[in-house]
Amino acid sequence: MLENTPRTRRLGLAAALALAAVAACVTVTAMSDRPTETKATAPARPPDDGPGLLSFASPSAPPAHTPAPERNRTAPSPPSSAAPESPAPPQRTPSKSPTPTAGSQRPAEHGTSVRSVNYPDRYWHLSGGLVKLDPVGSAADRRAATFTRVKGLADARCWSFTTADGGYLRHRDFLLRAERDDGSRLFARDATFCPRPSARTGAVALESLNYPGRLLRHQNFQLRLDPYRNTDLYRSDSAFLLVDGLA
């Protein structure tokens, strides 16, 4: 039996410490040999295309990478099935100025007589150098009531009237008369009358070239140049029919 000496106590303490160290190593070794627990991890999140682009999008919204439709693009028009229009043919300028009545379309070389609308049995008739509205019966009266309509002396778009002996009808002192052409500008204008539409069917009114607004009319059966008046009587007195020459 060992004595309980200080040396013996030291040896016992050392042995206890050694046993404790061995036990600790065994524990640590056992713990390190246990399999390591695998920590569950969440699946990786796909990268966002941008901050919040899809977070609040409706289910029907297109993906963020789909280009937005252009607003200002205009859809091409469908090709027209209609055939292209052919260019209009060039307009030909008439050789003669248009005239308002069918009766005035006769060639100028044909004789022309002028009949009153409201006195259909009376015609322009040259008597004593003046033009009057008279009934005609004899051959001489028929010749005096037949004129030749030609282009206007002062304006080819208008008319002049010649007599059988080569004179012209002209207004002077506002009365219609027959005189020889003196070659003056005044005579040419006095002898030029422009056709105007008449309120009477088939008739024509004759306006003075150098006195616009004045028409030839009969008054007391005398042919004269009077300012236009908006009356039925004036419109009837200034309406004339151009007919085939009586002679």
Q: For 31-40, write each residue's pLDDT tens digit.
A: 444 444 444 4
Look at strands 214-219 and 193-197 and give their pairing: unpaired
Contacts 24+ apart (CB under 8 A), 160-164: 160/191, 160/192, 160/193, 161/112, 161/191, 161/193, 163/126, 164/247
Q: Residue 10 — very low, low, confident or very high, per pLDDT cuts 50/70/90?
A: low
The enclosing domain of 155 has a CATH number of: 2.80.10.50
Q: What residues make up the domain containing 146?
A: 102-244
pLDDT at 123: 98
Residue at 129 is within a domain: yes
Distance set, CA 143 to CA 19, 106, 136, 234 (Å):
173, 19, 9, 28
Helix (H) or strand (E) holding 69: none
Residue at 59 is within a domain: no
Residue at 4 is within a domain: no
Residue at 49 is within a domain: no
pLDDT at 148: 97
Residue at 96 is within a domain: no
Residue at 54 is within a domain: no
Q: What is the pLDDT of residues 162-184, one digit of tens each?
A: 999 999 999 999 999 999 999 99
Number of domains in the chain: 1
